[in-house]
Amino acid sequence: MKFSRLIGKSEKIVDSHEQGHPVESAKLSKLQRLLGEKISRYQAKLEEMDDPKKRKKLQTRLKVVNAQLKKSKQLSAR
């Protein structure tokens, strides 16, 4: 390997270390699994809930978790 290439390669390694790595897909899938579990939990709660005020709140929360799940899937697809 040429010396300039060796220096270039080591600079690349150092730069990538300094900039940080993109989020790994393994971490995202773990997060997706956790969010999926949360959605099921919220859905089950929603079925049992009668109070319209509380239902509205929980529905909002459910929408947020769904949005987070969607966002994480978009990140995985990148």
Partner 1 sequence: MLKKILLPSILFILGYGFWVSPDFKEIAAGVSIFLFGMLFLEEGFKAFTGGVLEKLLQKTTNKTWKSLLFGVVSTTIMQSSSLVSVITISFISAGLVTLVAGIGIIFGANIGTTTGAWMVAAFGLKVKISAYAMPMLVFGIVLSFQKSKYLKGIGSVLAGLGFLFLGIHYMKEGFEAFKDTFDLAALAVEGYPGLFLFAAIGAAATVVMQSSHATLVLILTALAAGQITYENSLALAIGANVGTTITAIIGSLSANVQGKRLAGAHLVFNLVTGLIAIVFISQFVWAVEWVSDHVGIAQDDYTMKLAVFHTLFNVTGVLVMVPLINRLADYLFKVIPEKPKDLAEPLYLNDAVIEFPETVLKSLKKEVWHLFDSAFELMAHGINLHRTEILESPDLEKTIDEDREIHEFDLDELYESKVKILYGAIIEFISHAQEHIPSLYAEEMFRLRKASLEIVECVKHIKHLRKNATRYMLSDNEHIRVEYNHLRYQISMILREIYRLRNEDDFDHALAMLEIDELKAEIKLEHKQLDGRITEVLRDERITPLMATSLLNDFNYVDETARNLLDTAQALLVSHSDLVAEAAQEVVLDEDEIDEASAA
What token pair was written down for 34? Answer: 């956790």
43 counts as binding partner 1 under rule CB under 8 A: no
Q: Rounded to the nearest whole angstrom, what is the least distance from the CB of residue 14 to partner 1 in the complex?
A: 5
27 counts as binding partner 1 under rule CB under 8 A: yes
What distance in Å separates the CA atoms of residue 64 and residue 50, rounded to the nearest whole number?
21
What distance in Å separates the CA atoms of residue 58 and residue 46, rounded to the nearest whole number?
7
Q: Which of 18, 48, 50, 51 binds partner 1 (CB under 8 A)?
A: 18
**Which residues fall within 8 angstroms of residue 62, CB to CB, at 6 or more apart?**
39, 42, 43, 46
54 counts as binding partner 1 under rule CB under 8 A: no
Q: Are the beta carbons of 69 and 36 closer than 8 angstroms?
A: yes
Which residues would be at the binding site for partner 1 (CB under 8 A)?
10-11, 14, 17-18, 20, 23-24, 27-28, 30-31, 34-35, 38, 56-57, 60-61, 63-65, 67-68, 71-72, 75
